[in-house]
């Protein structure tokens, strides 16, 4: 195994991990006040940090790790158990709620709650604006939602809006930091962090490419940020607000960090010509990288630890199915991957489950065309898939083997 190294500078600090159990019933309370949440409220003061990344970064030495691709698994991976398939209409986003149900958000602002055990959907309130994305804090006491014009952070016990952020650019993703102290906002030009108690800005990175996906280490210091189908994995220091370098892969389409922060899983792809004037990401490798942090030497090392079983699949002998999303179960034992087609035609998606220890594929499912989103549920015992083009027409819930 050959390594990849990026230098990390600055004072090394440590936070004490704080992650409270999810508040039972919190989801219901949150949505009970959803219409009030979207009413206008004063925004908190935002401070612009002085630390900024360099305008023209210089490339760091980045040796490329090489490894033999794994042999196809003996026999095809077993089919994932499908618990239930529920028809829906116009759903644009799904999110696991703290009470164990799956939250549904439609294009017209209607909300709903899907019970993963019975498949029943309870109707929720109607929001006055379309909800593009919603995420709950790790302790379940707050949630942040994104509409076309703003981001709001809602305090569940206090039934109030903590702060509102007006969108100044296209936002690709929002997320809470691992300890729940920050709300992370990734856009086309900027990756920012806001303190969840006040809405004050903690840092802002001027990006070189859009923040399509990003992950943060458990101590809330380092952020690994990728742009879809680009090679570089950028490394940002949230303590100092500086850019420290990038790691070179093949073009990336998905990344995820294990709950303990020791492993990074990345889906790499080669851009191959599929027809005249058209290139597509052809799955090349999905691998686990062990993360080693050496504070004395001020460096972080990514060491190739395990390649995951993957046989690149083509629909109709033409279109590759790259990974569009990856996720670890909360215990770190399983990795879930969602694959989608790239190109024209009515093609199916794929759902994979791997054992993180061995890299073996332990489950696989062929999905209806155009899987949109994935959400882990029930502490990693099941996963919900939203199926549809632009808006979802079906929610499928699959069991995760060995959970």
- Model pLDDT for residues 67-117, shown as the tens digit of each residue: 333 444 445 789 999 999 999 999 998 999 888 999 998 888 888 999 988
Both tokens assigned to 247? 């790691």
Of 195 and 75, the structure prediction assigns the larger pLDDT to 195
Distance separating alpha carbons of residues 315 and 192, to the nearest angstrom: 38
Binning pLDDT at 50, 70 and 90, where does residue 343 land? Answer: low
Average pLDDT value for residue range 13-31 = 38
Output the average pLDDT for the chain: 80
Q: Alpha carbon of 225 to those of 228, 246, 300, 376, 390: distances in Å?
A: 10, 9, 15, 21, 25
Secondary structure of the chain: what % helix, strand, coil (to 5)?
5, 50, 45
- Supply the pTM of this predicted model: 0.82
Can you list the positions of beta strands (E) in 44-97?
82-96
Q: How large a percentage of the chain has pLDDT more than 90?
A: 51
Q: Residue 316 has what pLDDT? A: 55
pLDDT tens string 196-234: 999 999 999 999 999 999 999 999 999 999 998 888 999
CA 191, chain centre distance (Å): 14
pLDDT at 7 over 70: no
* Residue 327's pLDDT band (cuts 50, 70, 90): very high
Q: What is the reported pLDDT for 75?
A: 57
User: Residues of the chain with pLDDT > 70: what percent?
Assistant: 76
Predicted local distance difference test score (pLDDT) of residue 71: 41
- Domains, the chain, ordered by start: 249-369 (2.40.128)
- CA proximity to 268, closest of 214, 326, 351: 326
25 has a pLDDT exceeding 60: no
Residues 141 and 156: their CA atoms lie apart, in Å, by 5
CA-based angle 243:262:298, to the nearest 5? 40
Cα angle 312, 365, 382 (rounded to 5 degrees) comes to 125
Which element (helix H / strand E) includes 27? helix 26-32
160-166 and 171-176 beta bridge pairing? unpaired
The answer to whether 270 touches 284, Cβ cutoff 8 Å, is: yes
Q: Give me the pLDDT at residue 332, please.
A: 96
Q: Are 252 and 233 in contact (CB under 8 A)?
A: yes
| 150 close to 159: Cβ distance less than 8 angstroms | no
Residue 317 is predicted with a pLDDT of 56
Please state, in angstroms and rounded to a whole number, the distance separating the CA atoms of residues 351 and 72.
Answer: 17
pLDDT number for residue 375: 96
Of 4-13, 27-36, 207-216, 281-290, give the lowest mean pLDDT range. Answer: 4-13
Cβ distance 32 to 118 under 8 Å?
Answer: no
Q: In this structure, how many other beta carbons lie within 10 angstroms of the beta carbon of residue 246?
A: 22
Considering only residues 39 and 179, tell me which one the structure prediction assigns the higher pLDDT. Answer: 179
């Amino acid at each position: 195994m050959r390594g990849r190294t990026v230098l990390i500078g600055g004072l090394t600090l440590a936070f004490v991990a704080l992650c409270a159990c999810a508040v039972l019933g919190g989801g219901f309370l949150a949505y009970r006040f959803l219409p009030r949440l979207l009413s206008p409220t004063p925004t908190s003061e935002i401070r612009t940090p002085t630390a900024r990344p360099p305008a023209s970064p210089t490339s760091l030495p980045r040796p490329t790790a090489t490894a033999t691709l794994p042999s196809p698994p003996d026999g095809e991976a077993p089919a994932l158990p499908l618990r239930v398939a529920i028809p829906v209409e116009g759903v644009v986003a799904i999110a696991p709620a703290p009470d164990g149900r799956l939250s549904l958000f439609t294009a017209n602002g209607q909300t709903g709650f899907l019970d993963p055990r019975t498949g029943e959907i309870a109707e929720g309130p109607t929001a006055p604006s379309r909800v593009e994305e919603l995420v709950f804090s790790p302790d379940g006491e707050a949630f942040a939602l994104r509409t076309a014009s703003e981001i709001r952070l809602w305090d569940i016990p206090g039934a109030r809006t903590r702060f509102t952020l007006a969108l100044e650019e296209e936002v690709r993703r929002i997320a809470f930091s691992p300890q729940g102290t920050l709300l992370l906002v990734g856009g086309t030009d900027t990756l920012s962090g806001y303190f969840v108690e006040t809405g004050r800005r903690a840092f802002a990175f001027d990006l070189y490419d859009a923040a399509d996906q990003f992950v943060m280490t458990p101590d809330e210091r380092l952020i690994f940020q990728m742009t879809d189908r680009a090679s570089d994995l950028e490394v940002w220091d949230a303590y100092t607000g500086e850019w420290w370098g990038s790691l070179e892969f093949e073009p990336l389409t998905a990344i995820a960090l294990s709950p303990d922060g020791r492993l990074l899983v990345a889906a790499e792809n080669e851009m191959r010509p599929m027809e005249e004037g058209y290139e597509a990401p052809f799955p090349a490798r999905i691998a686990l990288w062990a993360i080693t942090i050496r504070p004395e030497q001020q460096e972080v090392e990514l060491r190739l630890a395990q390649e995951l079983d993957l046989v690149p699949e083509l629909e109709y002998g033409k279109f590759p199915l790259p990974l569009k999303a990856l996720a670890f179960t909360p215990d770190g034992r399983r990795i879930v991957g969602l694959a989608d087609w790239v190109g024209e035609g009515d093609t199916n998606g794929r759902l994979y489950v791997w054992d993180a220890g061995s890299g073996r594929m332990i489950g696989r499912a062929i999905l209806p065309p155009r899987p949109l989103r994935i959400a882990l549920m029930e502490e990693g015992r099941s996963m919900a898939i939203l199926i549809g083009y632009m808006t979802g027409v079906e929610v499928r819930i699959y069991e995760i083997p060995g959970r």
